[in-house]
């Protein structure tokens, strides 16, 4: 029991700095080009280590239903991750959403309506 009491503060001190650095994406800029049916999203996520702290996943939704899930192994750069997808079924009035997940902690979802 004494070892557990001594180990717990040490464990917390080692764990907290990593959690403190973790954060969800700051913003997601989404565009959809009806002529080409291409959705492009820029997921804003500042990091000093894009190989270890990055956008790990992008989920794309159409009218509330997930249609694409992409796993990502590293972020493009220290500021953002860009993704593009061909969405042939989107029509005017449909809702397209992009959800970006941080590899350490947090997520953000944004949505647009097709014009």
Per-residue pLDDT of the chain (115 residues; tens, 9 = 90+): 555 555 545 444 444 444 446 799 999 999 999 999 999 999 999 999 999 999 999 999 999 999 999 999 999 999 999 999 999 999 999 999 999 999 999 999 999 999 9
Q: Of 70, 65, 72, 71, give the one whose Cα is nearest residue 97.
A: 65
pLDDT the model gives residue 22: 78
CA 1 – CA 99 distance, rounded (Å): 43
CATH 2.60.40.730 for the 23-113 domain, yes or no: yes
CA 13 – CA 64 distance, rounded (Å): 40
E strand or H helix that includes residue 3: helix 2-21
| Residues 112 and 79: beta-carbon distance below 8 Å | no
pTM for the full model? 0.82
pLDDT the model gives residue 51: 93
Q: What residue segments make up the domains of the chain, in order of their start?
A: 23-113
| Residues 46 and 26: beta-carbon distance below 8 Å | yes
pLDDT the model gives residue 32: 98
| Residues 44 and 29: beta-carbon distance below 8 Å | yes
pLDDT the model gives residue 2: 59
């Amino acid at each position: 029991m004494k070892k557990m009491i001594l180990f717990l503060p040490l464990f917390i001190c080692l764990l907290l700095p990593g959690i403190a650095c973790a954060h969800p994406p700051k913003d997601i800029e989404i565009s959809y080009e009806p002529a080409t049916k291409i959705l492009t999203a820029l997921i804003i996520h500042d990091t000093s280590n894009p190989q270890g702290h990055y956008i790990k996943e992008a989920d794309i939704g159409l009218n509330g239903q997930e249609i694409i899930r992409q796993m990502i192994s590293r972020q493009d750069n220290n500021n953002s991750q860009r993704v593009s997808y061909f969405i042939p079924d989107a029509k005017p009035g449909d809702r397209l959403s992009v959800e970006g997940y941080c590899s350490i902690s947090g997520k953000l979802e944004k949505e647009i309506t097709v014009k």
